[in-house]
Amino acid sequence: MTTFDGRVTTRRPVRAGPAYVLVPVAAGAAAITALWWHDTPAITNAGDWITNAGRVTGLLAGYAAVVLLALMARVPALERGVGTDRLARWHAMGGRYMVGLVVVHPLLIIWGYAVTAHTGVVHQTATLLLSYPDVLMATVAGLLLVGVGIVSMRAARRRMRYETWFYLHFYTYLAIALAFSHQFATGADFMADRAARAAWALLYLGVGCLLVWYRFVTPLRRAVVHRLRVAGVHREAPGVVSIYVRGRRLHELGAEPGQFFRWRFLTRELGWAANPYSLSAPVRPDLLRITVKDFGDHSAALTRVRPGTRVFAEGPYGSFTEGRRRSRKVLLLAGGVGITPLRTLFETLPGGPGEITLLYRATRRSDLVFEQELVAIARARGAAVYVLAGSRAELGADPLAPAELTRLVPDLPRHDVYLCGPDGMTAAATTALRAAGVPRHRIHHESFAF
């Protein structure tokens, strides 16, 4: 394979795009619906209609649960091809549908059974809970899933720490485990159909293996092999530090410029949290570098981390890499500490003189990070770097307005644009880029706001 600068490569990381997720998920949902239809006898009355509606919602809820786990299994091909932020958005959206199905399923089943048996809803609820195998466990599972759904709502998440929300999410695993036996014990589609039973069990087992392998075994194995420790902490700007992490055979991590890891620094203050930070320099065989801005308790504590501290890193993750590139010319547009992944791409993206441009926006000159490094990189490779520091009043105009962007990059619509910065800045920049004629599919952005 030939790269944009004429280099020939024989190996590229495997990337599975959105179609590799959406098509199998849709096919699976169709198969679940077909299974329900195949096992549904003649429907003769209202009770049958309601009960069978409850059956199909239960099947789809069980299927949605395993799909959501697969999306968060951190499979490298999906992380690189789809992107961590998009997978997280799909997970959040799917979670809302799953919770809805989990709530509707038992209500329909109780209602349908009550209509068929000519009994009250309260009596039928008690009968199901006390007489049917594993229904009580499934009820507990449903309540756990609803609880996780509530704390995941935007209004609730704003009121709690990220780490609290993260650990509460682990109750999802318990809920799915509790509900699994109920599906076989009372599910009409599995009780007499061995093939369906085997396929369902294999689906859950396969996704469980993915979770165990990529979220637990792989990080532990890499911790043993690479033996990461803090080598030093360097102040870059007010409230911004670079942390150098030393280890062994780090090239074997397969980290690409633009990707990030989830970092856990094993101290009493930091060991309970794993937060995402991008690499801010290309990987060396024995050294990694991340750069962190003080945005809260965790990032502030990192400024005090001591050399020699052991580090546990999960990853690499993300699709904010050269793999998204489609054009010879590239614009890297950074805001504040968003320069972190773009600084690495600026150094490594293939391109000749005039093909790589970096725009770096900061409110104050003192907020700039890596300014000397960026100038040196630009000089070495014939790239352009523009530092846009100051308020709009000081600069005399909005430096990210469509006209200003086009003035700095005259053939802007022919560029791929990699964009990273605060949410407000990236939203405004995206609007300006679209107004300047850049196609949406050439604007690349990855958010850590999972």
List, for residues 185-203, the tens digit of each pLDDT value: 666 677 777 888 889 999 9
User: What average pLDDT does the chain have?
Assistant: 87
Q: Which CATH class is domain 322-445?
A: alpha beta
CB 142 within 8 A of CB 88: no
What architecture is domain 227-317?
Answer: Beta Barrel (2.40)
316: preceding bond cis by omega (within 30 degrees): yes
Per-residue pLDDT band for 362 (boundaries 50, 70, 90) equals confident
| No. of helices (H) and no. of strands (E), the chain | 18, 11
Cβ atoms within 10 Å of 164's Cβ, excluding its own: 12
Q: Is beta strand 329-335 parallel, antiparallel or unpaired with respect to 356-362? A: parallel
Cβ atoms within 10 Å of 266's Cβ, excluding its own: 14
Q: Is beta strand 260-265 parallel, antiparallel or unpaired with respect to 311-317? A: antiparallel
Q: Which residue type does 72 have? A: M
Four-residue CA torsion sign, 371, 373, 375, 378: negative
Q: What is the pLDDT of residues 41-55, one digit of tens each?
A: 778 889 889 988 998
Predicted confidence at residue 379, as pLDDT, reads 93
For residue 166, pLDDT beyond 80: no
Predicted confidence at residue 433, as pLDDT, reads 95
pTM: 0.83
Q: What is the pLDDT of residues 203-232, one digit of tens each?
A: 999 999 999 999 999 999 999 999 999 999
Predicted confidence at residue 186, as pLDDT, reads 65
d(CA 440, CA 9): 29
Burial bucket for residue 244 (CB in 10 Å: 0-12, 13-18, 19+): middle
d(CA 281, CA 278): 9
CB 43 within 8 A of CB 52: yes
Predicted confidence at residue 282, as pLDDT, reads 94
d(CA 167, CA 144): 13
